[in-house]
Amino acid sequence: MQEPLVQQIDDNTACVNTSEKVHPWWYNLKYALVGIIFGIVFYKAEIISWFRIQEMFRLQSFHMYGIIGTAVVLGAISVFIIKRMNIKTIHGEKITIADKEFNKGQIFGGLLFGCGWAITGACPGPLFAHIGAGFFAILIVIASAVAGTWVYGYFRDKLPH
């Protein structure tokens, strides 16, 4: 019984959407370029600021709500167009997006992450941006986050899902 359960609650994050084609390593640089743009926006829009996250959770600023809301609307329109017009990747492959399966982890894990988000003022993306911006003490936060991920993997079968 244990094995199918693990399969069933797999959270769709690993080894999905992997291209069948084999490309040389430097093809990955296109993702680095998208990352560079993201990193600049993170810094210049102050999304990586601990202060902006505190304002968000105290309803003292519209800034973060405006950013996430606009991104979701634009993302949703894009996904709709991609599906509707059957747009392919630049390498001619079909675009597939895995559905998210519901499990209780989204509730328990979501509450715990929300707690960590308010304390550190950062979700995983901004943590990496902090390193680029020269806040090296954040390496401790990243190491702790990796440890948290590992501990989750260790206790996964015993946690309610």
Kindly identify the residues of this chain, within the stretch 106-145, that bind another protein according to CB under 8 A. Answer: 106-125, 127-138, 140-145
Interaction between residue 153 and another protein (CB under 8 A): yes
157 Cβ contact partners less than 8 Å away, ≥ 6 residues apart: 2, 5, 6
* The Cα angle at residue 124 between residues 33 and 52, in degrees rounded to 5: 95
Rounded Cα–Cα distance for residues 78 and 14 (Å): 23
Among 1, 8, 24, 68, binds another protein (CB under 8 A): 68
Give the footprint of another protein on residues 74-93 (CB under 8 A).
Answer: 74-76, 78-79, 81-82, 87, 89-91, 93
Q: Does 5 bind another protein (CB under 8 A)?
A: no
What distance separates the 2 farthest-apart alpha carbons in the chain? Answer: 50
Tell me which of 54, 85, 86, 158 binds another protein, using CB under 8 A: 54
57 binding another protein? (CB under 8 A): yes
DSSP, collapsed to helix, strand or coil, labels residue 94 as strand
Say how many residues touch another protein, by CB under 8 A.
128
Q: Are 127 and 141 in contact (CB under 8 A)?
A: yes
Q: Report the alpha-carbon distance of residue 161 to residue 152 in Å, rounded.
A: 12
Binding residues among 10-49 for another protein as defined by CB under 8 A: 11-19, 27-49
Based on the shown chain and the rule CB under 8 A, indicate whether residue 8 belongs to the binding site for another protein.
no
**Please, what is the minimum distance in Å from the beta carbon of residue 1 to another protein?**
15
